[in-house]
Amino acid sequence: MNVMRIEGGRPLQGTVRTQGAKNAALPVMAACLLLKGRTLTLSNVPELYDVSTMMELLTALGVTARREGKEVTLGVADEVSWEAPESLVRKMRASSLVLGPLLARCGRAALPLPGGCSIGSRPIDLHLKGLVQMGAKIEIRNGVVCAQADRLRGRRIYLDFPSVGATENLMMAAALAQGETIIENIAREPEIDNLAVVLRSMGVPIDMEGTGCVRIKGVDEVQSSRERVIPDRIEACTYLLAGVMTGGRVTVEDVIPAHIDSLLAKLEEVGVRFAVNGSAVTVFPADRLQSVSLKTMPFPGFPTDLQPQMAAALSLAEGTSMIEESVFQARFLYAAELNRMGADIRIKGDTAVISGVERLSGANVKATDLRAGAALILAGLAAQGRTQVEDMVHVWRGYEAIDVKLRSLGAQVELAEDVR
């Protein structure tokens, strides 16, 4: 179903449970490629398009992938393919995460340059630079990254930018490298910690120093493991904002509050009351939001993956808000769609200037990427009248059963096929 129809203007009420984090599941699934004749079992794995694509990719490489409910078991044979098929890699940006473990395990890897959401340039040069420092020989031939190394060697690597993907790829490559690898200026996102937990459980000594540095001692082989994927902080925040925008009372369960501190700080700033009770967070009905300024930053800063949803909320705030996007280029494509619903958003370079309006009106809009689609759904829930969000295929990449969860909160939503 590629279209969501929303009858807006209804305050949401109730409780939803957070899914497993897509951005944590994908790298730990890729980490199974480090195994040889062993198994990795993961629980709390969300049922999403991107997760299915990763399972297909791993299967194409020779992994036996099986799902039972929220549990995914990945059985890895003694031999796997080192060539990733282009048809699958181009579907998803996170396909690049198989490069490091494949190269470390097989001594070579071939990876077509990956696809994914159209939110600006997201090159993998930091991934490649780090692997070269570890002794890999890398060429790009006809759009394919061709890498080779008899055995990677531990090195001290400094990342020019704390890239999440580069940090994950190099951590996995270092797991089977000879000697100790020290990676500095790493990403500090919770998903990095989740990967470290999984690698440790596979027998890899890892020291996360808490100062943007990780030390990894390579091993000759890794062991079978069973671990849990952490809750999805972006999904949790999206449902909290749905409650805020509709003037409802919404509780999100299975949250790690420390992972969403940046949103909670901004909610307090705009005048929203909330309560944290263990792993549950509740937002309460509020008067009109107050305007704020924010800048997206790597964790623990405000996440770029929550920027479009926050912009939708601020479109209804009193006064003028400003959002500066410092992580990804071209992440304001959703603004034109929100403006179709009556929002007043002007883009000036890497900044969105949002003049709050009193209400939004339903309209036909298109999701340009995953988080843009979520922002449009939130706007539709708060708008007067009917909103139709097209190209929902983007949303299915990151939100499990979003229609079911919204209906459980009292939203009037339905799915339909695209009849264009």
What local confidence, expressed as pLDDT, does residue 209 receive?
73
Distances (CA, A) of 213 to 202, 219, 293: 20, 19, 30
Strands 225-228 and 108-112: unpaired
Q: Where are the domains of the chain?
A: 3-19+231-416, 22-228
- CATH code for the domain defined by 3-19+231-416: 3.65.10.10
What is the three-class DSSP state of 333? Answer: coil
Which residues are catalytic, by number? 117
Q: How do residues 246-289 score in pLDDT, each as one tens digit?
A: 999 999 999 999 999 999 999 999 999 999 999 999 999 988 99
Distance CA 264, CA 254 (A): 16
Q: Where are the beta strands (DSSP E) in 230-376?
A: 249-253, 274-277, 280-283, 293-295, 320-324, 344-348, 351-355, 364-366
- CATH code for the domain defined by 22-228: 3.65.10.10
Distance CA 138, CA 293 (A): 42
pLDDT beneath 70, residues of the chain: 115-122, 210, 419-420
What local confidence, expressed as pLDDT, does residue 214 receive?
97
**Would you say the CATH fold of 22-228 matches that of 3-19+231-416?**
yes
Distance CA 255, CA 260 (A): 8
- Residue 202: closest CA among 156, 178, 171: 171
What local confidence, expressed as pLDDT, does residue 115 receive?
57
Three-state SS string over 276-317 comes to: EECCEEEECCCCCCECCEEEECCCCCECHHHHHHHHHHHCCC
